[in-house]
Chain A
Amino acid sequence: MSPVNYVYLAAVLFTIGAAGVLIRRNAIVVFMCVELMLNAANLTLVAFSRIHGNLDGQIMAFFVMVVAAAEVVVGLAIIVMMYRSRHSASVDDASLMKL
């Protein structure tokens, strides 16, 4: 088996995560799906790191993890705020930007 298979797997996971972002209405689940996409991207980085034989991919994955953590912190804070003011965590309820 070639490590490219990991990349295939990552592609599948990424697509599933993206579809989840589009389908789910609960903001927290949407967030989880975003995390899934990020993890899929990390898997490709790690797999490429192995294929190319250097550690730069892993460093990138490391940065992605850190940034994802920061994003989760802020994102969840926003969800809490939203829930406080609207008593709902549905992304469809926050649709005031329409005409």
Chain B
Amino acid sequence: MAVLPAMSAAPGSAGPAVLAATSTSAGETAAFWVLGSVAVLGALGTVLLRRAVHSALCLAGTMVILALFYLANGAYFLGIVQIVVYTGAVMMLFLFVLMLVGVSTADSLKETLKGQRWLAAACGLGLGILLVAGLGQVSVRSFEGLGQANAGGNVPALASLLFTKYVVAFEVVGALLTVAAVGATLLTHRERIEKTKSQREQAEERVRAGKHLPPLPAPGVYARHNAVDRPGLLPDGTPSDLTVSATLRNRGQVREVGPEALHRVAALEQRTADSHGQTEHTGRMYGEPHDPERDVDDADDEGQGGREARKARGDAREEEAAK
């Protein structure tokens, strides 16, 4: 980062006297190759990583590097706007929507459309080669540099252009933004077509349905992670999905409570019972057998697999109780 001021200064320092340069400074060259590689890696990561969040992070990195390149190319205003608007606002919007939609759903990269990947590769390679070849045909021996254009400062220069030559486009784009904002609001807005139910009505409905009369249990109780996606345990030690938010349940993002946690709970209960002289009761209840095959790290458990494991374990427990 320290190189940047020097780099950006390079074209400027040439002064208005030098109208055309033939090459950039060595520092910029070095920065280009290093940061350019990183940008390409970030782009590849955006495309190839399975989790959308990782893609978003890679893209944010690439965008920051592009912002640096803007600065290096004398587009100071755009560089800052790139960081503030793109990396800051737009990428956050992406992450926000990702959270809404489900942050941990990882895409399968297995291709379902026949021949899609080959076609995509062929088209991508073809276009890349064509573009590069096309660029190779143009020989740019020298370049103007922005020394003269940026003489009075980049931002005033841009502003004077924007509000004179491009003022109509500017106004139109402003209108476009307004329309987009209104449109997005309209799209995501759901019209309420019936009266909101009061708390009393909801309670009466529950009584009428005849289940879950008390409030639902809280999540994370006695789990190792005291988090919303960990189910709480019932008195007999089985995890209850009811304790987890319905949204997470629907997404299959409920995490497994590891056997370690069950043991700890059992031990805790044991100690409590010892101190109160009620050993036989709880000892039987929390006598959870340790299953080494099922002993997976709960941090890596995914919703679906975790639930299956839990079910298998619940079955085993029932069998033992029957004995």
Contact = CB atoms under 8 A, between A and B. Distances in A.
A36 B62 contact: yes
Nearest to A1: B29
Interface centre among A52, A56, A73 (most CB of B within 10 A): A73
Interface string B289-312: 000000000000000000000000
Contacts of A94: none
Nearest to A57: B75
A62 B24 contact: no
A1 B28 contact: yes
A70 B143 CA distance: 33
A31 B250 CA distance: 25
Interface stretch (B36-44, B223-231, B258-266): B36-44
B143 A79 contact: no
Contacts of B62: 13, 36, 39
A42 B73 CA distance: 12
Contact of B127 (A18, A31, A78, A80): A18
Interface string B82-101: 10011001100110011011
A70 B183 CA distance: 10
B100 A69 contact: no
A23 B111 contact: yes
Interface stretch (B144-152, B235-243, B269-277, B278-286): B144-152
Main DSSP-derived SS at the A contact region: helix
Given A15-B128, A50-B143, A28 B86 contact: no
A37 to B, nearest CB: 10
A88 B102 CA distance: 10
Given A46-B78, A50-B74, A62-B81, A76 B39 contact: no
Interface in B92-124: 93-94, 97-98, 100-102, 105, 107, 109, 111-113, 116-117, 119-121, 123-124
A16 B47 contact: yes
A50 B144 contact: yes
B237 to A, nearest CB: 32
A66 B176 CA distance: 9
B70 A23 contact: no
B52 to A, nearest CB: 5
B322 interface: no
Interface stretch (B161-169, B192-200, B206-214, B313-321): B161-169
A91 B39 CA distance: 27
A11 B128 contact: yes
A96 interface: no
A1 B78 contact: no
A15 B176 contact: no
Interface in A4-28: 4-9, 11-20, 22-26, 28
Interface string B130-157: 0110010010100111111110001001
15 contacts: A1-B29, A7-B135, A11-B131, A15-B127, A15-B128, A29-B52, A36-B59, A39-B86, A42-B82, A53-B147, A55-B161, A59-B161, A61-B78, A76-B97, A77-B188
